[in-house]
Amino acid sequence: MAPIRNILIVGGGTAGWLAACFLAKMLGAKADGAVQITLVESPEIGIIGVGEGTFPSIRGTLSLIGIDEARFIRECNATFKQGVRFNHWVRPAGAPGPDHYFHPFSQPSQRPGGPELLPYWLMGAAGNVPFAAAATLQKHVADMSHGPKRVTDGDFLGPLNYAYHFDAGRFAALLCTHAQTLGVRRVEATVEDVTLDGEGAIDSVVTREAGVLRGDLYIDCTGFRARLIGEALGSPFRNISDTLFVDRALAMQVPYERPDAPIPSYTISTAHEAGWTWDIGLHERRGIGYVYSSRHTSDERADEVLRGYIGKASEGRTPRLLKLNVGYRETQWVKNCVAIGLSSGFLEPLESSGIGLIEAATYLVGFLFPHDGNLAPVAKTFNAQMKARYERIVDFIKLHYCLTQRRDNAFWIENADPATIPESLRDQLAMWRARPPHRLDFVTDLEMYPPSSWQYVLYGMEFATTLHANRAALPELDAAKREFQTIAQLCHHAVKDLPPHRALVDHYLRRG
């Protein structure tokens, strides 16, 4: 067992460069005698360049690796993201009833010593107001096109919780520059072969331009190609298309109608006949894509749906078609190679889990780092945790589909078929019929999404929980009603205090 002295990261997309920055920071790569980190990336192959929505965990990651917010916003054409708006997921466009719901990033309001609001919302304490709109100000602020934090003083105590939308190409470039200042060595070369030693571990990678490269630990960030973990080491891929059906994407970038058009501070996810569109507003353009199931529609029809959604701005533009292998590897760390990013798996980008999973895997490698070269127990722990994380995210994504009332297309009918719902999710839904989700339903360190995210989606999808608890166990109805009223009043203050989203972004750009 030789100590780990050299890490070789193969691939320079979001996964490769984020892992490089994080490990360089954690392992102090610049110091004398520290672990050396080299990243090799192919200039020919390039990056996938589509992951543009994030979860609030990204803020902790940026701060940990030492990239400040203003620089990030300036260099990545970034905007603020306060949540996701889901259009037509419950029922098709035009059907009677609410046409959307919101998944905000802020937690439901909880005063110290005050009641937990959800059970009282279920008792009707907020009237007919949907849970997400009743329990936090965020939906109201986002609906008014205001940002999540202020730039000058005011009464409002924010900020509201938020993540970002950004340009994926620019983000990889920023991380690349930053990683090198942290001591990471960059090599531009294409890996053409991977050689194994007598025990089946990776011995070297053979590149066209830079010859043979070796590391004590290899990190496979080669995207869907999975050049090391898949092609060389044969770690099996678990396809989950029987649960999550979408397997293609058509993506397009379009300008705003006017340069001063309001920028939505949330991702707009609109359900269509065989999938859904994402609509992400950056500072200078929108990124829009239709993710759909090739079993339920054709590429030609998907193109029509995407153009129908975008309208005139799509004229003269050709969308990029991406074929997606949906699922993950149950074993993501094999001998001396660990996969991070798309090489480890891909789940549809409904709740921005891709970058969240990269963050989680990178933290795990950093915190469990096998300095002494004893890889096997670390690999075992890593594999168990990442598999559990993937399973929980699959359940969370499926939650968005399986409660739909849509019956307009086989895609939606099959999505609500219990046979397509993982048993773990079916069990939780069965419990939540009689009581709302509680934090004890979740093992925090294995979850990407907090309990409130599950609650917002569950009740946004109009799930019915019949409270069986004795009303005597819920004695704070009046306090809860007052709290809901206070939140409603604060909404107006918040909108007065918080700047329009575009003005907030412009403020950061001017500061540069």
Binding-site residues from annotation for FAD: 12-15, 191, 342, 355
Among 14, 36, 270, 293, binds ligand FAD (CB under 6 A): 14
Q: How far is the CB of 271 from ligand FAD (least distance, A)?
A: 16
SS3 390: helix
Binding-site residues from annotation for L-tryptophan: 351
SS3 458: helix
Q: Interface with ligand FAD includes 345 (CB under 6 A)?
A: no
Q: Interface with ligand FAD includes 319 (CB under 6 A)?
A: no
Q: SS3 letters for 292-314?
A: ECCCCCCHHHHHHHHHHHHHHHH
Per-residue tokens: 212: 């043979």
Q: How far is the CB of 391 from ligand FAD (least distance, A)?
A: 18
* Closest residue by Cα to residue 330 from 415, 245, 391: 391
Q: How far is the CB of 351 from ligand FAD (least distance, A)?
A: 8
Q: SS3 letters for 185-226?
A: EEEECCEEEEEECCCCCEEEEEECCCEEECCCEEEECCHHHC
87 forms beta bridges with 100, 270
Among 25, 146, 178, 227, binds ligand FAD (CB under 6 A): 227
Q: How far is the CB of 17 from ligand FAD (least distance, A)?
A: 8
Among 26, 45, 201, 479, binds ligand FAD (CB under 6 A): 45
Among 136, 277, 352, 452, binds ligand FAD (CB under 6 A): 352
Among 7, 23, 36, 41, binds ligand FAD (CB under 6 A): 41
Binding-site residues from annotation: 12-15, 81, 191, 342, 351, 355
Among 144, 206, 322, 368, binds ligand FAD (CB under 6 A): 322
Scanning 27-35, 218-226, 235-243, 392-400 for contacts with ligand FAD by CB under 6 A, the matching segment is: 218-226
For CA atoms 325, 331, 336, 339, the dihedral sign is positive
* Closest residue by Cα to residue 38 from 3, 7, 69: 7
Q: Interface with ligand FAD includes 40 (CB under 6 A)?
A: yes
Indicate if 81 belongs to the active site. Answer: yes
* Closest residue by Cα to residue 383 from 448, 331, 329, 445: 331
Q: Interface with ligand FAD includes 46 (CB under 6 A)?
A: yes
β-strands 237-239, 217-220: how paired? unpaired
Scanning 44-52, 233-241, 437-445, 468-476 for contacts with ligand FAD by CB under 6 A, the matching segment is: 44-52
Scanning 76-84, 151-159, 235-243, 352-360 for contacts with ligand FAD by CB under 6 A, the matching segment is: 352-360
Q: How far is the CB of 467 from ligand FAD (least distance, A)?
A: 36
Scanning 6-14, 378-386, 411-419, 430-438 for contacts with ligand FAD by CB under 6 A, the matching segment is: 6-14
The answer to whether 24 and 183 are in contact (CB under 8 A) is yes
Let me know if 472 is exposed, middle or buried by CB neighbors in 10 A (0-12, 13-18, 19+): exposed
User: What contacts 232, CB < 8 A, 6 or more positions away?
Assistant: 194, 196, 202, 337
Per CB under 6 A, contacts with ligand FAD among 406-435 are: none
Let me know if 252 is exposed, middle or buried by CB neighbors in 10 A (0-12, 13-18, 19+): buried
Q: Interface with ligand FAD includes 42 (CB under 6 A)?
A: yes
E strand or H helix that includes residue 18? helix 14-27
Scanning 43-51, 307-315, 368-376, 398-406 for contacts with ligand FAD by CB under 6 A, the matching segment is: 43-51
For CA atoms 67, 73, 77, 80, the dihedral sign is positive
Binding-site residues from annotation for 7-chloro-L-tryptophan: 81
Q: How far is the CB of 105 from ligand FAD (least distance, A)?
A: 14
Tokens 């939606």: give the residue.
Answer: 412
Q: Interface with ligand FAD includes 341 (CB under 6 A)?
A: yes
Residues 355, 223: Cα–Cα separation, whole Å: 12
Of the candidates 81, 139, 387, 398, the residue annotated as catalytic is 81
* Closest residue by Cα to residue 129 from 511, 487, 506: 487
> Toward ligand FAD, which CB reaches closer, 140 or 277?
277
Q: How far is the CB of 44 from ligand FAD (least distance, A)?
A: 7
**Strands annotated E in 224-284:** 237-239, 248-255, 267-272, 275-281
* Catalytic site positions: 81
**Applying CB under 6 A, which residues contact ligand FAD?**
10-16, 40-42, 45-48, 50-54, 168, 190-191, 221-223, 225, 227, 249, 251, 289, 322, 324, 341-342, 349, 352, 354-355, 358
